[in-house]
Amino acid sequence: MQTVAKEPAKFAARIARVGSFQSMLIDDVAMKMVRKGDDVIMIGSNAPAGETLPHIRNAAKRALDSGYTKYGPTSGLFELRQAVADKLKREYDFEADPESEILLTNGAEEAIFLAMQALVNSGDEVLQSKPSYPFDLHVNYSEGISTEYRLEERNGWKLDAERVESRVSRKTRLVTLVNPHSPTGRVFTREELEEFSEIAVKRNLFVLVDHVYSDLVYDGRRHINIANLPGMRERTVIVCSFSKSYPGMGGWRVGYAVGNRKLIAEMTKLHGLISNMGGCTFAQKGAVEAYLANQTPLSRMVRKFQRQRDASVKRLNEIKGVSVLTPEASCHSFPRVSSYGMSSVDFVYWLLKEAKIVVHPSITYNIEGYVRFNHSHPRYEEALERMEKALRKIPVRRN
């Protein structure tokens, strides 16, 4: 009997709603060039440069040798949830119950995914800033609708509550806020956050606030936890991670969500489903050490990155056709390159070809005209030199 080849499987519609980011695509192209022996400087990358600190590595090694190799609790090791609660108390005078209000996740991204899945119904609108670290794919996957409120460079990327309110509709369920903001590096002031939270309370919105860059704040600025403001405790979910606070911890995949106990309970169910219990326990032991140990290496790192930020902002502003505001936090600056008249994607591929450096195109953050540059990279000066040399070859088309 003849067998007739069956059609390949059709995939579920929901998976088609998950796309890829341009920044990941260019990184893949650059990695291929690196494998062929090209000396490409990956200066768009999304984490502070450096290796995991030895005391953190040693804590994870000790954990491996002492049996932290089995399934752990679904919510994550209590010891780390307690360390997170202690940090929130110490730094923000914010009380979170480690038993029921903190969930350890595989990086902040999983925390974002779980919160979206728990909060957003089909047809609900989710507001995000423009530009913003992108939440769209999560929103799409939840069958929600992404809407935007603008931050303007000419206003110093200020958070404008009136503008947020003008974008709230009857369908708006959730508003996202990245603070410190990515990709602009703004640290929103208490006044900006108070006005923003008044809107959230008045319009009965839930707020997802991303704190991943809260340990990388410059010039002695104060990072404010919006969940401390009146009426915000119950309607805020904080997502955070070890991947941006400490060098070389992106691959450890340890992050967390902090929110009201009902929301955390729902998110924990889904977390248990997708991870069959919790995250990696020996990585969590390393993260405990990161939070409990002396933070002098972290302060030293922040001071070093601040110097590199100053040097790279100065140099970027000296390059013909490029301008940038000084980021107040994070390891990135967000220079404007629109004067070259190219889309941000064309610009970054052109730069890769001409200068063998990879910056990230601003379309990843839902805006055109900019690129993201990681000033923590040890070769940032060389990258800037290559960028300037390449840009000398082409004319500035408009201002």
Ligand X SMILES: Cc1ncc(COP(=O)(O)O)c(C=O)c1O
Q: State the residues that interact with ligand X by CB under 6 A.
A: 46, 107-109, 133, 178, 182, 210, 212, 241, 243, 250, 255
Query: Least separation, in Å, of the C-beta of 387 and ligand X?
Result: 22
Toward ligand X, which CB reaches closer, 342 or 362? 362
Toward ligand X, which CB reaches closer, 59 or 114? 114
Query: Least separation, in Å, of the C-beta of 137 and ligand X?
Result: 12
Q: How far is CA 139 from CA 122, 173, 175, 254, in A?
A: 9, 11, 11, 22
Toward ligand X, which CB reaches closer, 27 or 210? 210
Query: Least separation, in Å, of the C-beta of 246 and ligand X?
Result: 11
Toward ligand X, which CB reaches closer, 244 or 315? 244
For residue 305, give the nearest of 374, 249, 363 by alpha carbon: 374
For residue 258, give the nearest of 290, 212, 213, 298 by alpha carbon: 212
Query: Least separation, in Å, of the C-beta of 354 and ligand X?
Result: 26
Q: How far is CA 108 from CA 12, 32, 225, 239, 355, in A?
A: 26, 28, 17, 6, 33
Return the structure tokens found at 22.
């341009």
Query: Least separation, in Å, of the C-beta of 397 and ligand X?
Result: 31
**What is d(CA 284, CA 67) in angstroms, rounded to the nearest whole number?**
13
Instruction: Give the largest CA-CA distance in the chain.
Output: 78
Query: Least separation, in Å, of the C-beta of 124 and ligand X?
Result: 21
45 Cβ contact partners less than 8 Å away, ≥ 6 residues apart: 27, 374, 377
Toward ligand X, which CB reaches closer, 46 or 333? 46
Toward ligand X, which CB reaches closer, 208 or 232? 208
- Kindly tell me the sign of the dihedral angle through the C-alpha atoms of 134, 222, 252, 86: negative
Query: Least separation, in Å, of the C-beta of 250 and ligand X?
Result: 5
Toward ligand X, which CB reaches closer, 52 or 243? 243
Phi, psi (5° rounding) for residue 217? -110, 135
Give the residue nearest to ligand X (CB).
Answer: 107
Give the side-chain half-sphere CA count within 13 A for 324.
30
What's the chain's Rg over C-alpha atoms?
22
Query: Least separation, in Å, of the C-beta of 65 and ligand X?
Result: 26
Query: Least separation, in Å, of the C-beta of 181 and ligand X?
Result: 8
Toward ligand X, which CB reaches closer, 46 or 75? 46
Toward ligand X, which CB reaches closer, 47 or 316? 47
Toward ligand X, which CB reaches closer, 208 or 355? 208
65, burial (CB in 10 Å: exposed 0-12, middle 13-18, buried 19+): exposed
Query: Least separation, in Å, of the C-beta of 393 and ligand X?
Result: 32
